Amino acid sequence: MTPETRSRTALLGRLRTLAVLEVLNIALIGWAVFMALGAPFSTPNTVGFALVAVLLLTGAAYWALKLRQLRTTARRPPLIGLFRALRPLCATALTAGLVAIAAAAPGRPAPEWAAGLVLYGLAVAEYVNYFHLQLMHDTRADWRRLLRTRRLRGSHLAEDLRIHRTT
């Protein structure tokens, strides 16, 4: 195996892992919030969880399609136009979700809205991480680049959307 094929194999494995982990994170977060912590299924908590789940599914879909692009050596990720449409839809969902959480929280005890607010923050972070700036730095290469440049880079999906504007 040459260094190039080893590197390609590692990249394909990483993309597959990212796609699977995003889906698994939905179940893990749901279990942690509603089962382990015992947060009630109130409107704020459910809305916050739903927003995180949608954004994690969006991320999983992107990584799966990016994996397909690399496997087939396609010029662009399949269905990239779908993500162009999802970006404003996700932003609108986040805005509506915040309104729903804010409207349902007043006068309720903290357990009925606190987890939802934290989940909402996580959903916003996922939105930024996928559609704007890479917030997740989980490899040595990511950390080296961040320490060298001292700034966040554009996300992979944002870069694909920029490059493939007309598709």
Confidence of residue 150 (pLDDT cuts 50, 70, 90): confident
Q: For residue range 38-89, what is the model confidence (pLDDT) as tens digits?
A: 999 999 999 999 999 999 999 999 999 999 999 999 998 999 999 999 999 9
What is the predicted pLDDT for the residue at 84?
Answer: 94
Burial label for 153, CB within 10 Å (0-12, 13-18, 19+), is middle
- Cβ contacts of residue 160 below 8 Å, gap of 6+? 66, 76, 77, 80, 83
Q: For residue range 83-129, what is the model confidence (pLDDT) as tens digits?
A: 999 999 999 999 999 999 999 999 999 999 999 999 999 999 999 99
What is the rounded CA–CA span in Å between residue 124 and residue 51? 9
For residue 162, the tally of other CB atoms under 10 A from its CB is: 9
pTM: 0.88
Assign 26 to helix, strand or coil.
helix
Phi, psi of 137 (to 5 degrees): -125, 95
What is the predicted pLDDT for the residue at 12?
Answer: 92
